[in-house]
Every structure is written in C-alpha cells, then in structure tokens.
Amino acid sequence: MPNKTTRVLVVGAGPVGMVCALALNRRGIPVTVLESEPAPVQDQRAATIHPSTLEMLDDLGITEKIRPHSLLSSTYRFHDRTTGDVVAEFDLGRLEDEIRFPYVLQYEQYKLTAAIAAEYANESDFDVRFSHTLTGLTETADGIEVEYTSPAGTERMAAAYVVGCDGGRSTVRKLAGIEFEGFTYPERFIKIATSFDLKTVKPELAFRNYFSDPNEWANVFKVRGEAPGGLWRVILPIGHDEDDATALSPARVEERLQKFLPKTGPYHVEYRNVYGVNQRVAATFRQGRILLAGDSAHVNNPIGGMGMNGGIHDAINLTDKLTKVIAGEADDDLLDLYSRQRRHAAVNYVQAQTIANKRLLEQRDPEVRRQNLDELRRTAEKFDTARAYMRRAALFDSLQDAAAIT
C-alpha cells in the first residue's frame, strides 16, 4: 500500500454518504464508498428534503434532476385529532423572497442514493463497493489503514481520512470509541404505507400532516412510491406492552388505520415496519482522521423530517473543510471546527426541535395542550411569526447559527 494518499473512504452508501462522496468528488478528491449491503437498499425511511437541503443539492446539480420524480409540497398542517380540526397551516411560499426553493420535495432517501450512484459513481475516482464491510481502522503517520471484508476475503487499503456515514449503529463510531450520548424512547413507532388515497376520507390532508392526540398522535405523509398514485405513510406510536408480531399483524394494522381514518372496506397496505427511536448525539464528530456525519453522529425521532437533512448538512460542511485540509490550504484543526459547528446544530436544532415536536403532539394535560395548540395557531396566522417558524423548521436558522461558531 502507498504510504500517502488523498483518497477519502466513506463508510455507508446511504443518502448522507453518497452526497458526501459526490461533493468530495466534485472538489477533485478521489473517494471510495464501502457498503455492507449487497445492493442499494429500498428502505422506507426519510422522504422529505427541506428547502435548505435542496439548495445544497442544487449546487451539486441534483435538485433539478430529482424534482420531476418527486412530490412538491409547499404546505404542511397540524391537526387536532380529537376534534378533527386543522389547527395551523404553514406555507413555505411565504419565504419565496428569501429562499431558492419555497417548498420541500417528497423524495424517498433510497431514490436519492440510487440516483447519485447510477449517474456519478463507479469510476476510479468515485468507487462504490457493495458487499464490503468495514472491520478495522488504524491511524498511521500519513493517513489511516482500513481493513474490510469483501467477497474476495479480508482486504486493506490506505486512506487520508475516513468518514463514517454508516448509521445509528455505526461501526466507524464504535471503532473510534466515541460515545453516543442521549436516550431511547420507551415506546416504538410503526410506519404503515397504503396505496389508498387518504384524501378521499379526509380532504383537508396536505402532503405533510401532524396530528396532536393525547392518546395516539400521528404523522401522515404522501410519497410517490413506485406506483402512479403514490403512497400515504402513517406513523403511529406503539406502547411497550405490544410486541412486534402483534403490531405488524394484518388485523392489528387494519384496526389502527380504521381507528385513525375509518372507511368502507379494508386498506391495501404496501408495507409496514416497527422501529425503536433514539435521541442521541456523538460526543465528538471528529477523532484524528476519523469523522462522523449523519446518523453515525446523531439520531432523532422522525417528527419534522430533520435527520436526513441534518446529515446532508453535515456532509456539505465537512466537504468544504476537508477539501481545504487535503489541499494543504488549512491545518487539520479546521476539522475540529466542523465537529463544533455540526454538533451544535444537532443538539440545539435537530434534537431540540424533534423533541419539542413530539411533546407537542403527545401532550396529555388538557390545559397545556390547549395553550400549545392556541400558540401554534397564532404563530401560523401572523406573517412574521410564521416565517420565523418555517425558517427554523427548515433548518435555515441552524445553518446560520452553526456558521457563526469559531
């Protein structure tokens, strides 16, 4: 192996890893991506790309390519499930004088990953390797030695830096010995996707909806899916006294959907899955030549669609700094600034906002709940407060605040 290289190894071929790899490649940095899965995974996870992220993807030439294959949504609504009322509507069109994209794109993360891989990857300077699993990292005087398994057996390669984008159970983070601080929610969530058009039974649905209910809050989103009519995703909490087998049974899924939106005849369910939810942030996003981004660095509940977006913001921030370090234009302590800025954004915005979103939806005290919904209603009705709310929710404030950290 050569003793010195400018190649960066990205571990994980999810949306954050692939955006990071593409951004580095566009800056002239050779990149190898290792992914333990045998092929891109059609995982039904994040699907909302916020305006701040669309600006970053536009700079990479991606936004215009994915827009025709996305659902465009400028509004989102908060509902009171107990009364059936729409409490508040926020319209990103109110920000059209200050942002490039006054809407979100509903575009599943597996499609973003596949789109980047299909068009840009698998050249010598952008090398994506599936069925390759990281097993070891050893820093050297000139870089970092990487050990991994592949269909050919155990192999090694040299890299200048390693970026861990390999999820909440990150092997990179564990090999680096970085603590993952935070907590796990006692309840789990169930995600159910149906091809039935929910607007036929609840016309006031937008493409993005949040339902407040002291007994069973809900998130409802529409995505394009793989069929012409698209899919509606319904996310509901599951009590810790209900096992996965029961929660996933067709009868229980049907019962949940009918309780939420009653209709004649059964629902056609495309997929369903149960997952645990954490609110955690890595103690640092940088240790020597090892860097963390996305879920490897921070995980949160999905209410607000901030996890993937915050991870892509990590990737772009890191790319800007890592490129300068590799080119010799800056000392490597610039990477410590990356860690400070993006950890601040994760703790003070992504974590804080998603925790607050969940508390709003699940509030049980009747008086507190009434006050919260009234405040949300007043916020949405006033032009200036609505704009301020949307800037924060779309993570523009987090980018501005993080950039001020030195």
pLDDT greater than 90 at residue 117: no
Q: Edge to edge, what strands does the sheet with 269-275 contain?
A: 85-91, 75-80, 208-212, 218-223, 231-238, 188-194, 269-275
pLDDT band at residue 2 under the 50/70/90 scheme: very low
Taking CA atoms, 4 is separated from 37, 290, 323, in Å, by 29, 16, 16
| Whether the predicted pLDDT of 41 surpasses 90 | no
pLDDT band at 401, cuts 50/70/90?
very high
- The mean-pLDDT minimum among 37-46, 190-199, 328-337 falls in 37-46
pLDDT above 70 for 335: yes
pLDDT at 193: 96
pLDDT per residue as tens digits for the range 179-223: 999 999 988 999 999 999 999 999 999 999 999 999 999 999 999
> What residue has token string 């091809």?
195
The secondary structure of residue 123, as a DSSP letter, is B
Query: What's the rounded mean pLDDT across residues 75-79?
Result: 97
Q: Which residues pair with 35 in a beta bridge?
A: 130
Confidence band of 1 (pLDDT split at 50, 70, 90) = very low
